[in-house]
Structure 1
Amino acid sequence: MDREATVPDDGPEEGQTDTLPPDRGDGQDHSPAADQLLRKAPELQPTVPSPASRSASEYTEQQVQVLEDIEHVRARPSMYIGDTTARGLHHLVYEVVDNAIDEAMAGTCRNIIVIIKADGSVSVEDDGRGIPVGIKEEYGLPAIELCLTVLGAGAKFVRDSYKVSGGLHGVGVSVVNALSEWCEVTTRRDGQVWVIGFERGKTVRPLEAIGQATTPGTRVEFKPDADVFSDTSFQTSIIASRLRELAYLNPGLAIALRDERAGTAETFQFQEGLKQFVEHLNEGKEPLHPVVHIRREDQSQRLICEVAFQYTDSYTENTLAFANNINTHEGGTHLTGFRGALTRAVNSCAKKNDLIKPSDPLPTGEDIREGLTAVISVMVPEPQFEGQTKTKLGNSEVGTFVESTLNELLSNYLEENPAIAKRIVAKAVQAAEAREAARKARETARKSALSGAGMSRKLVDCSSREMDETELFIVEGDSAAGSAKGHRDAETQAILPIRGKILNVEKARLHKVLSHEEIIEIIKALGTGIGSEDFDLAKLRYGRVILMTDADVDGSHIRTLLLTFFFRHLRPLIDAGRIYIAQPPLYELRKGKRVEYALDDSRLNERLSRLGLEGTKLEVRRPGSPAQVHDSPTLAGLLKLVERIELQARILGRRGIEFRGFVEERYVGGRLPVVRALLDGREEYFYSEQEFEDFRRQAAASGASVARNELGEARELQRCFAELADFACTESDLFLKREELITGELSPAAFVLLPAGSDPIELDNLAGLPAGVREIGARGWEIKRFKGLGEMNKEQLWETTMDPANRVLRKVIVGEGGELEDIDVVETDRIFSILMGDDVERRREFIETNAIHVKNLDV
């Protein structure tokens, strides 16, 4: 069975983010993100649509309206969040963040803080108006409780509460609450701090005031329910991508993201908004002119159109369209209006100023958009989207407004900047000429069976013609291809060897791509054709296209070149989920004739743990008490619990907090502190939000600012410590130390592993349990580490990389229409441009920045 992961991974950003500096030993978060946003916020004034500005007094419980009940949300979560995989999981965060963004668009929010906590929960805090707490008389409940427990309760259906909002359907935060193991909401409003708590959508902690508030705002904390989601682990890069996007779309708004699991933080704030967005997208490319920025507002229709664009030396278009901060992947009337106006304005300017020779072909809209990077953002009071997915805008008046705006303002810009107009027209003419050359190249190639009528001369085909069951392995090197040919399923597996490194298509137009022999062989084997005029996905001959290269530097380079080719010229294959990367294992485990493989270090440890648990018991010896023996199933549960504690201890260490000292000094009455604060260099710990709020209020009265760190890992540790009692253990067992006796021997061990048929292992303390179990599991096994395909013989290549029963494949997915829509196609495009483009200095900076994240580098 194939197990699938995703590629490519995006690394830390350059330029727009702040990264945590090394620990200073005081345990305090010194990141710019924390320093800026966890203290009193500076007076940042975001650029927001003027019609959207509202006073706080106009947002009260009277604006909250109820549309329908949500009892079936937990039974049918996919109806509300798309699915219960990673995409749906991250959608929960977006729903809460979107509420904060709506406050920003209303002119009442300047800062948003998103924290991924150590226990797997997420906190989203803003300094907006706070959720109303007044009683909604017809329901007898506080407005905040209605918003969190009743589907469709909110103020976005009332025309004047929010002039512009992304939460059209009004199901957001209530669905988040329903699909969370627990949810706690703190609202600061009217001088009071209010808290309300829920479990799986049900109120378990009624609304109560816990103190006085000095500033307004809302904090929503929730932990996704593992009974609903297949995986509850948030990916920081996915959340960061969305937050960065929102910061670009809302100039001046500061959005901080902290990941307590990794100890990282970054802040997104862009005073020039879309202009900086385009500059970010064009990293690694050579711009032909400064970014063009156009903005117009129609107060009568309450519409705002904002566009920023820039041409570069690249050969692809990268246009993003947003409506009310929502990325409309499928476009819509605003995108159609922009493209129509751009084509008309450029061609009109070219004709008027004789910039096109009579012999030159007239550029089409596609020609004019070659090398274009553009961002279109519209604000619409009543947007019409296609369904809950909101991927296509349907408002006809928006298309008319965008087109008329661009017709006038872009035409004026080109008239006022003739040098830039000349460069844009010249770029379009070159694109038209290249299009004609590519047409001729395709025509020539068609005669040699490029479109699939003939076959690649290098292809070793399979016998089956059922596309869904067949696979094409694109293999680096003739020797590796020879091994693959000798050990394959000849019915369903085809082999295409490629020699050397293919053309870097990032730097080449299509007609040059079609002159490269290895690429021609790939296109022939696939059968789809290439180019917008000839490509036909229905003609694909194989259900899976698998890239199989060595794990060395050359193999990685060849794989990257292939991915660049597929991303730039055969993107529909990626969108359809047809491209995979073979993942040979890193380890071989051999015991006599028994052979197993482990993909990476984590899977090796997992396998050794399973082997070590087989037939092993744990004896617990307490002075003055009879020994207690845990059987293998019980031991497995204890092992999993200790590993959870290990993880939280590592996270504390990244904060500069020593685990043992923290527990021994701070574990009071079965509780650990949940908030750490720093005031004038002095650390303070608090066991409840109310304790901290009282402290912060006193500090504010004296004019002092308090830096606040939530200790999400402490909550998880408290749960783990409580579960230790089920195994007759306590947290102090983690820190036991065996003393040396006068005889020179160590004192008796409290924990002894008793494997079946081999020597016992005495543990110094409970924390040594995972290593002890793995040591038992490794007994009798020879463990070998591979570097790549070249070290494997033919049988091993089949067993580990080609046999569907054993292999691991990584599925290449990039946004829009993929199984995981949130993988950032924008970042993917940018990284391809940086790594495969001509800007050597920018590429060097990227590599230096991200080198520390590389694992298993073969040099």
Structure 2
Amino acid sequence: MTAEYSAHHLQVLEGLEAVRKRPGMYIGSNGSPGLMHCLWEIIDNSVDEAVAGTGTRIDIVLHDDGSVEVRDRGRGVPVDVEPRTGLTGVEVVYTKLHAGGKFGGGSYAASGGLHGVGASVVNALSERLDVEVDRGGKTYAMSFHRGEPGVFADSGEPRPDAPFSPFEQKSELRVIGKAPKGVTGTRVRYWADRQIFTKDAAFQLEELETRARQTAFLVPGLELVIRDEREKTDGDAEAKDAEAKETSFRYDGGISEFVDYLAMDAPITDTWRVQGSGSFTETVPVLQPDGHMASTEVERECRVDIAMRWGTGYDTVTRSFVNIIATPKGGTHQQGFEQELLKVLRAQVEQNARRLKVGKDKLEKDDVLAGLTAVLTVEVPEPQFEGQTKEVLGTPAVRTVVVKVLRQALGERFSSTKRDDKSQASMLLDKVVSEMKARISARAHKETQRRKNALESSTLPAKLVDCRTKDVEQSELFIVEGDSALGTAKDARNSEFQALLPIRGKILNVQRASISDMLSNVECASIIQVIGAGSGRTFDLSAARYGKIILMSDADVDGAHIRTLLLTLFFRYMRPLIEDGRVFAAVPPLHRVIVVNPGSKPNETIYTYSEQELHALLTKLRKQNKRWHEPVQRYKGLGEMDAEQLATTTMDRSGRLLRRVRMQDAEAAGRVFELLMGNEVAPRREFIIDSSDRLTRESIDA
């Protein structure tokens, strides 16, 4: 740094230099998310063509050399000369910022591309980018090196490190072949520039498949095919093709099918579809024939399409989109949707106040959104987004259009005289009112659910054997199977920080039961009361009375079933405990081997936790010529251990083994619980049959 600061210290970055200098401004980051954002930009251009009515298939290929290729059958990038720049359409699109056909020129009614920087940004951040266009019976091609057009001297497969010669006088759009009559389309292949992106940045196949599936739902009839050719073994081309993973996505049901896919819980209502449109005016700069921009008042039409359904759960799953572009942080369209949903349901509850017994209480947004799965899409020309990443819609007038469309559709639904409509409307009102009452009750009893002190009276279940410490982080709650195990556990525990709660048999399967059934179940209610943090949407992790929740069941099939039922309860109604890593499964031993030592040396006791571990131990003892007491004790349940054995193996912190219950993907976990514990029997039967080869006769404790 110098004290002097004058005009010659200023820098003016021309064209794509600005993108390479500050990539985060355009793609968010230079890691894997930024790399994926570049790919979305290219894919979205192809999707815009499909939305415009040309092309029903998009191919995405992840090549084994680190490049990615996107192919479509759209209209193809224009190849004629743009009059103002004197450059071909291909060069304009891929080298000029804020240039393209999506600024209101009539080429697209509604598109995801708005700023004219997507393709040119990807080009600027690529070590090499190749474009091929089929148009007018010819195939045109152009290549770029870090945004600069030129020619690569390739021999065989294209490589980013091949010798490159930039155009010196005038760039050239080469004709490399003939295209079949009537066939149009664009093929883009690029190699991300490792000078820009971090070493660990990589294309995420799972994320790509999720985005492709989402797009296929949003554009009915469009097929997206993903082919992953990475990490292939050496061999001929046929072998590599055989190993390549290819996945195809196509859905004709639109966003109604999307909602059915997203919904995890049992339905209370059918999937309601709301469609409509509205118009508004806004003043925008419009390019005049003389090349100047003039503020002009234009009329816009906004189309709204919503699919939604309520289920028995309390989780909210909403997806909002503008012109097929996901808006994960919402915006004016989502604000209008939630605002009108609350307003309409409040009015309906007030009209049915006597039947619902609500008094003067009012619904809040969380009550209405509990158990809702919704997909909201709007199509609007030239929407205003907050930033290039397009995560938030900013066009104010869209809120009003969504409100009007939703108000009319819900009004017709709630005033319908059809039996199904009346039944579903009634069940929905019961659902939102029960959520409201649960919220009010939780708020009223929040203070009474705190850990009792010496001056307070306890309202906790009599069967709880509590600990003495008030330090939540140190305290542990063991949920024990049966009274017999409780007796042993009382003597085995450290009463300073270990509490015990016995449960009788198998608790209710809450995945298949309603909230009221769950709360009326004695065992479920006791667990929720003892933990003291509420349940469902009102769960407050900071109010939990114990730092660890440890499920201690027998090491047999019934014990595994009980543990699964308990985990279902925690997943559905106390999920923050799992997300915070505070739920554990105790691992009691299966066998006790008493090794006989010679002479006066005391015998040694060894515990094993699986059949394989036992056989390995006995083989080792045979090799050492050591004897053991026969028969080896096989524990069928916790009640077979004495207090010392239970403490040593399962409860004492110095020697026990715990399995922490983790959940990395809530959506995937929800699908597993619904498959294994839900109402649908057929998928569970198929899963059991398909998985039967993993099970051995010896692993069944019968």
TM superposition score category, shorter chain reference: 0.5 to 0.7
Render the CA deviation track for 1:356-391: whole Å, top value 9, x for unaligned: 627456773655555443322111223233434433
Are the structure 2 counterparts of residues 73 and 442 from structure 1 closer, same or farther at C-alpha, using a change threshold of 3 Å?
same
CA distance in 1, matches of 2:669, 2:223: 24
Could you tell me which residue of structure 2 aligns to residue 285 of structure 1? 266
Could you tell me which residue of structure 2 aligns to residue 62 of structure 1? none
Are the structure 2 counterparts of residues 413 and 81 from structure 1 closer, same or farther at C-alpha, using a change threshold of 3 Å?
same
Could you tell me which residue of structure 2 aligns to residue 420 of structure 1? 420
CA distance in 2, matches of 1:546, 1:75: 52
2:215 is aligned with 1:246: yes
Could you tell me which residue of structure 2 aligns to residue 296 of structure 1? 277
| Structure 1 length-normalised TM | 0.53
Are the structure 2 counterparts of residues 295 and 255 from structure 1 closer, same or farther at C-alpha, using a change threshold of 3 Å?
farther
Specify which of 23, 33, 57 is matched with residue 111 of structure 1: 57
The one-letter amino acid paired with 2:176 is I
Are the structure 2 counterparts of residues 143 and 471 from structure 1 closer, same or farther at C-alpha, using a change threshold of 3 Å?
farther
Contact 1:549/1:559 (8 A) holds in 2: yes
The percentage of aligned residue pairs carrying the same residue is 36
Contact 2:325/2:390 (8 A) holds in 1: yes
Shift of 1:439: 5.1
2:39 is aligned with 1:93: yes
The one-letter amino acid paired with 1:341 is E
SS in 1 for 2:511: helix
Specify which of 647, 659, 664 is matched with residue 812 of structure 1: 664
The one-letter amino acid paired with 2:41 is E
Contact 1:438/1:511 (8 A) holds in 2: no
Render the CA deviation track for 1:408-429: whole Å, top value 9, x for unaligned: 2332244344323322332234
Shift of 1:91: 2.7
CA distance in 2, matches of 1:408, 1:809: 46
2:260 is aligned with 1:274: no
CA distance in 2, matches of 1:581, 1:111: 47
Could you tell me which residue of structure 2 aligns to residue 838 of structure 1? 679
Shift of 1:151: 4.4
SS in 2 for 1:374: strand
The one-letter amino acid paired with 1:812 is Q
Contact 1:579/1:812 (8 A) holds in 2: no
Specify which of 171, 174, 187 is matched with residue 208 of structure 1: 174
CA distance in 1, matches of 2:693, 2:77: 43
Could you tell me which residue of structure 2 aligns to residue 237 of structure 1? 206
2:133 is aligned with 1:187: yes
2:379 is aligned with 1:399: no
Could you tell me which residue of structure 1 aligns to residue 381 of structure 2? 381
CA distance in 1, matches of 2:63, 2:254: 29
- More displaced 10-residue stretch of structure 1: 520-529 or 162-171: 520-529
The one-letter amino acid paired with 1:357 is R
Q: Equivalent residues in 2 for 1:308-347 (5 A)?
A: 308-345=307-344
CA distance in 2, matches of 1:139, 1:551: 76
Contact 1:580/1:811 (8 A) holds in 2: no
Are the structure 2 counterparts of residues 439 and 538 from structure 1 closer, same or farther at C-alpha, using a change threshold of 3 Å?
closer
Are the structure 2 counterparts of residues 526 and 98 from structure 1 closer, same or farther at C-alpha, using a change threshold of 3 Å?
farther
CA distance in 2, matches of 1:200, 1:563: 52
Shift of 1:337: 2.5
Count of equivalent residues: 561
Contact 1:285/1:833 (8 A) holds in 2: no
Contact 2:649/2:655 (8 A) holds in 1: no
Render the CA deviation track for 1:257-304: whole Å, top value 9, x for unaligned: 333456443333333312222333347734644643433354942210
Specify which of 213, 223, 227 is matched with residue 258 of structure 1: 227
Structure 2: gaps (5+ residues): 1-12, 153-165, 167-172, 231-242, 281-298, 588-637, 639-647
Shift of 1:112: 1.2
Are the structure 2 counterparts of residues 477 and 444 from structure 1 closer, same or farther at C-alpha, using a change threshold of 3 Å?
farther
Render the CA deviation track for 1:229-255: whole Å, top value 9, x for unaligned: 453554433222211211221122222
Contact 1:77/1:84 (8 A) holds in 2: yes
CA distance in 2, matches of 1:558, 1:144: 64
CA distance in 2, matches of 1:496, 1:229: 50
- More displaced 10-residue stretch of structure 1: 388-397 or 249-258: 388-397
SS in 2 for 1:409: helix
Shift of 1:347: 5.8
Higher Cα radius of gyration: 2
The one-letter amino acid paired with 2:376 is I
Could you tell me which residue of structure 2 aligns to residue 604 of structure 1? none
Render the CA deviation track for 1:633-688: whole Å, top value 9, x for unaligned: xxxxxxxxxxxxxxxxxxxxxxxxxxxxxxxxxxxxxxxxxxxxxxxxxxxxxxxx
The one-letter amino acid paired with 2:215 is L
Shift of 1:128: 0.9
Contact 1:368/1:428 (8 A) holds in 2: no
Structure 1: gaps (5+ residues): 1-66, 487-492, 585-789, 815-824
SS in 2 for 1:301: strand
CA distance in 2, matches of 1:192, 1:553: 68
Could you tell me which residue of structure 2 aligns to residue 639 of structure 1? none
Contact 1:329/1:391 (8 A) holds in 2: yes
SS in 2 for 1:302: strand
Contact 1:383/1:393 (8 A) holds in 2: yes
2:75 is aligned with 1:129: yes
SS in 2 for 1:267: strand
Specify which of 161, 165, 186 is matched with residue 218 of structure 1: 186
SS in 1 for 2:17: coil
Instruction: Indicate the RMSD between aligned Cα atoms, in angstroms.
Output: 5.4
Are the structure 2 counterparts of residues 347 and 83 from structure 1 closer, same or farther at C-alpha, using a change threshold of 3 Å?
same
CA distance in 2, matches of 1:181, 1:149: 14
Shift of 1:529: 5.0
CA distance in 1, matches of 2:663, 2:92: 42
Shift of 1:838: 1.2
CA distance in 1, matches of 2:100, 2:254: 29
2:511 is aligned with 1:506: yes
The one-letter amino acid paired with 2:112 is G
Q: Equivalent residues in 2 for 1:649-688 (5 A)?
A: none
The one-letter amino acid paired with 1:319 is T
Contact 1:85/1:229 (8 A) holds in 2: yes
Are the structure 2 counterparts of residues 181 and 302 from structure 1 closer, same or farther at C-alpha, using a change threshold of 3 Å?
same
CA distance in 2, matches of 1:167, 1:545: 50
Are the structure 2 counterparts of residues 285 and 443 from structure 1 closer, same or farther at C-alpha, using a change threshold of 3 Å?
closer
Contact 1:471/1:546 (8 A) holds in 2: no
Render the CA deviation track for 1:419-468: whole Å, top value 9, x for unaligned: 23322332234325533663586479646635898999789899999x9x
Shift of 1:217: 0.8
Shift of 1:216: 0.9
Are the structure 2 counterparts of residues 257 and 427 from structure 1 closer, same or farther at C-alpha, using a change threshold of 3 Å?
same
Contact 2:367/2:436 (8 A) holds in 1: no
Q: Equivalent residues in 2 for 1:607-686 (5 A)?
A: none
| Structure 2 length-normalised TM | 0.63
CA distance in 1, matches of 2:125, 2:312: 47
Render the CA deviation track for 1:546-599: whole Å, top value 9, x for unaligned: 999999988987887677556644566788x768999x9xxxxxxxxxxxxxxx
CA distance in 1, matches of 2:531, 2:145: 52
Shift of 1:105: 2.3
Are the structure 2 counterparts of residues 133 and 404 from structure 1 closer, same or farther at C-alpha, using a change threshold of 3 Å?
same
Render the CA deviation track for 1:783-807: whole Å, top value 9, x for unaligned: xxxxxxx9x9899x999989xxxx9
SS in 2 for 1:812: coil
